[in-house]
Structure 1
């Protein structure tokens, strides 16, 4: 099926004709139907985002609030919003088109380079003043936003959400427990940022040289703990998810990130300790959360065992 015919899955002929007139799209259109929440029609310089159904409208509006707020070359900019029943029963949006391809498996050297580029980009996005962030984004998508931007004690954090301190502290001795709890408290005290919170390789674009060219799909973005962008729980291709050495991906991300953030941050050792404890809890068979929901039981068991070994080494 050619692209023009496939576009009919989103816009029938009469809708497409009006869409071209209203949005001034004369050239070819490439449809993308693989998004979980939206259909995307790609024009030469713009991407048009259509919610899949009425339940997604609010999330797509949140996503476009991010694009209207973030000013970074690796993040699309919001160009327009339309409410036109003759085109779509739901509002739809246009953003700048970012070009590239989703990364597949990478060599360790390329993985480190791309992770470093991503960490640097996250630092710039996280440095955005919360005064610029729309109220709709002051919480995660499944919570009502507060009356004011949240503080570190009020914002969502994966450590607090899972009760990591309460569950892991009893597993270690008294001296090690003090070190662990200090790290968890320090990491949890990071100031909230406008975070992506759904990062994995399917939401990245690389250009022909293998350089990071875009960070896509900010629909779960919000004012949250910076830590949500470092849990690395959704990465799923072999080179990203297997981590030849436990914690490598996080270390590459965090090192580049910390070098560029303007805010004071915990050390890598504290972050590594906190996220290792997070893995132990998030991957426990009895844990009911959205983390790692796409991973097999075998993968989770292997990862949890690696986290337990790493924790013992860090606290030795």
Structure 2
């Protein structure tokens, strides 16, 4: 099936004709149907985003709010929004088309290079002033936004979702001593006290673009973006198992991400040792069989058990 025939899955002939007229698209259109929430039609230097169904409209509008707000070159820019029933029953959007393709299998060296680039790009994205962020983005995608911009004490954080600092320390208490509990609590509280940022919220390889040289060119799919704890972009829980396997040691991916991030952020941040402790404790709690979260939901039970065991070993070593 050629591209023109495939486009008919989104726009039948009369709709396509109207689309070309309204959106001034004369040349070829490349369809991309592999996204779970939207169909994408690529036309020249633009990408047109169509929600798959009515349940996705709000999420896509949220994503485009980010594109209208962010000014980083790796984040698409919003170019237009249309409500045209003769084209689509749902609103659709145009954003800048960024060059590159999603990463393939990553070697250890490529993983480190990508992590450093991504950490630096996230630092620039997170430095955006929250005064510019519209109210619909003041919470995560499944919560109503508050009346005032969230603070470190009331924004969404992965640690708070898992019970908060004191509960996480309590769960680790049987295997560590009093001094270690104090160290762990201090680390968790320092990490949870980070000021909120406009974060991606669903970051993994399929949402990244690299050019032929391996340079990061795009961070896509911000539909779960919002004013959240910076930590949400460092859990790495949705990264593919193959990328985890490229780590030479537990925590390597996050270490390169965080150290590059800290080098480029303008805000005060906790140390890597504190972040490492917090994310190690996050893995132990998020991967517990009794825990029901969206983290790691795509990973097998065997993978989760092995990762949790590695996190436990790491926590013991860090607190010795």
TM band (smaller chain): over 0.9
Larger deviation: 40-49 or 101-110?
Answer: 101-110
Aligned length, in residue pairs: 316
Larger deviation: 13-22 or 155-164?
Answer: 155-164
Residue of structure 1 in register with 2:212 after alignment? 208
User: Does residue 154 of the first structure (1) align with residue 154 of the second (2)?
Assistant: yes
User: Does residue 94 of the first structure (1) align with residue 91 of the second (2)?
Assistant: no
Of 174, 178, 191, the residue aligned with 2:195 is 191
Residue of structure 2 in register with 1:167 after alignment? 168
Is the 2:169–2:185 Cα contact (8 Å) retained in structure 1? Answer: no
Q: Which consecutive residues of structure 2, in runs of 5 or more, have no partner in the other structure?
A: none
User: Does residue 226 of the first structure (1) align with residue 219 of the second (2)?
Assistant: no
**Cα drift, residue 237 of structure 1:** 4.7
**Cα drift, residue 101 of structure 1:** 1.1
User: Does residue 269 of the first structure (1) align with residue 273 of the second (2)?
Assistant: yes
Structure 2: how far apart are the matches of 1:33 and 1:300? 30
Is the 1:233–1:291 Cα contact (8 Å) retained in structure 2? Answer: yes
Structure 1: how far apart are the matches of 2:159 and 2:111? 26
Q: CA RMSD in A?
A: 0.9
Residue of structure 2 in register with 1:307 after alignment? 311
Residue of structure 1 in register with 2:262 after alignment? 258
Is the 1:76–1:97 Cα contact (8 Å) retained in structure 2? Answer: yes
**Cα drift, residue 167 of structure 1:** 3.4
Structure 2: how far apart are the matches of 1:270 and 1:36? 35
**Cα drift, residue 273 of structure 1:** 0.2
Residue of structure 2 in register with 1:21 after alignment? 21
Q: Which consecutive residues of structure 1, in runs of 5 or more, have no partner in the other structure?
A: none
Structure 1: how far apart are the matches of 2:31 and 2:188? 45
Aligned partner of residue 116 in structure 1, secondary structure: helix
Structure 2: how far apart are the matches of 1:231 and 1:297? 18
Aligned partner of residue 42 in structure 1, secondary structure: strand
Residue of structure 2 in register with 1:285 after alignment? 289
Residue of structure 2 in register with 1:113 after alignment? 113
**Cα drift, residue 139 of structure 1:** 0.1
Structure 1: how far apart are the matches of 2:202 and 2:292? 18
**Cα drift, residue 58 of structure 1:** 0.4
**Cα drift, residue 108 of structure 1:** 1.6
CA offsets 1:152-185 (integer angstroms, 9 cap, x no match): 0000000011015313432321110000000000
**Cα drift, residue 242 of structure 1:** 5.2
**Cα drift, residue 244 of structure 1:** 2.6
Is the 1:111–1:240 Cα contact (8 Å) retained in structure 2? Answer: no
Structure 1: how far apart are the matches of 2:288 and 2:307? 10
- Relative distance call for 1:313 and 1:263 in structure 2 (3 A) is same
Q: What TM-score do you get using the length of structure 1 for normalisation?
A: 0.98
**Cα drift, residue 241 of structure 1:** 4.9
Residue of structure 1 in register with 2:127 after alignment? 127
Is the 2:194–2:269 Cα contact (8 Å) retained in structure 1? Answer: yes
Structure 2: how far apart are the matches of 1:167 and 1:124? 31
- Relative distance call for 1:109 and 1:103 in structure 2 (3 A) is same
